[in-house]
């Protein structure tokens, strides 16, 4: 069955460092992959979408890579700030199908 | 503000009861998604509608049902409620396929 894996352990980093989060998927070939941010008790907020023919995408301090061979996406936040502390969710998607999310990785950025 | 409106924001009800959660998508969005998120758990996909038709189904219980109306708003009906149904229920909308989804603020359901 299709599976999306994100590190369930929280990632703790210091302010100013680069945070790298991983999303692995198995048993399907997504045409695109999305990353969202979720704060406690709030709905997820869209951050970036990368398509299968794109290797990398950037938006301000955010960078996403998409390796269809490894079946993996990496999400980077450079020059991290305490305000970046949140849970980050990935959602690989094959197209006109259900939008399913990984369980998310909690990021904690310390001052 | 995502443009997706969910009502009510909070709902407290007793076991065995039935409730209806409402979602108004962003103007022009044809797809609506429903999710359940229990305390400290991930987002569980329930069901997706596109322009009034059911398009995808997740692990939605038989006690739960949903529909999308001609004006594109959607309702999620939860019946024979159990304590374990207590959760945040999110609705999201998107213009179509391969685009980002916009989430509402959620409805917090407490079953007592």
Is A103's pLDDT higher than 70? yes
Look at residue B39 in the predicted model and tell me its pLDDT: 86
How far is the C-alpha of B107 from the C-alpha of B105, rounded, in Å? 7
Could you tell me which residue, B111 or B96, shows the higher pLDDT? Answer: B111
Look at residue A95 in the predicted model and tell me its pLDDT: 59
Nearest CA in chain B to A34: B100
How far is the C-alpha of B41 from the C-alpha of B17, rounded, in Å? 24
Chain A interface residues (partner B, CB cutoff 8 A): 31-32, 34, 41-46, 49, 51, 89, 93, 95-104
Contact A12, A110 (CB under 8 A): yes
pLDDT in tens, B26-41: 999 999 999 999 987 8
Look at residue B75 in the predicted model and tell me its pLDDT: 98
Interface size A-B, in CB pairs within 8 Å, comes to 64
Contact A23, A33 (CB under 8 A): yes
Look at residue A31 in the predicted model and tell me its pLDDT: 86
- Place A96 in a pLDDT band, splitting at 50, 70 and 90: low
Using a CB-CB distance cutoff of 8 angstroms, which residues of chain B are in contact with residue A99? 33, 45, 48, 92, 94, 101
**Which one of A41, A43, A104 has the shortest CB-CB distance to B103?**
A43
Query: Hey, are the CB atoms on A42 and B105 less than 8 Å from each other?
Result: yes
What does the pLDDT average to over B88-92?
A: 98
Question: Smallest CA–CA separation between A60 and chain B, in Å?
Answer: 18
Q: Which of A18, A21, A6 is nearest to A65 (CA)?
A: A21
Average pLDDT, chain B: 95
Q: Residue A54 in 3-state DSSP?
A: coil
Look at residue B59 in the predicted model and tell me its pLDDT: 86
DSSP B96: S
């Amino acid at each position: 069955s299709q599976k999306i894996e994100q590190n369930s352990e929280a990632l703790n980093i210091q302010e100013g460092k680069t945070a790298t989060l991983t999303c692995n998927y198995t048993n399907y070939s997504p045409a695109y992959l999305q990353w969202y941010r979720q704060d406690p008790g709030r709905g997820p907020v869209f951050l970036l979408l990368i398509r299968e023919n794109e290797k990398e995408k950037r938006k301000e301090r955010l960078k996403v890579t998409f390796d269809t061979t490894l079946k993996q996406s990496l999400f980077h936040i450079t020059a991290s700030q305490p305000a970046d502390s949140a849970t980050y969710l990935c959602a690989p998607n094959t197209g006109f199908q259900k939008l399913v999310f990984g369980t998310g990785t909690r990021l904690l950025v310390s001052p | 503000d995502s443009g997706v409106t969910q009502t009510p924001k909070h709902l407290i009800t007793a076991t065995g009861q039935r409730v209806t959660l409402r979602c108004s998508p962003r103007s022009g969005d044809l797809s609506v998604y429903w999710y359940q998120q229990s305390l400290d758990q991930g987002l569980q996909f329930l069901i997706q509608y596109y322009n009034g038709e059911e398009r995808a189904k997740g692990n939605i219980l038989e006690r739960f049902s949903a529909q999308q109306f001609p004006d594109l708003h959607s309702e999620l009906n939860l019946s024979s409620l159990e304590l374990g149904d207590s959760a945040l229920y999110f609705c999201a909308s998107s213009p179509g396929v391969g685009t980002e989804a916009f989430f509402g603020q959620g409805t917090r359901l407490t079953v007592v």
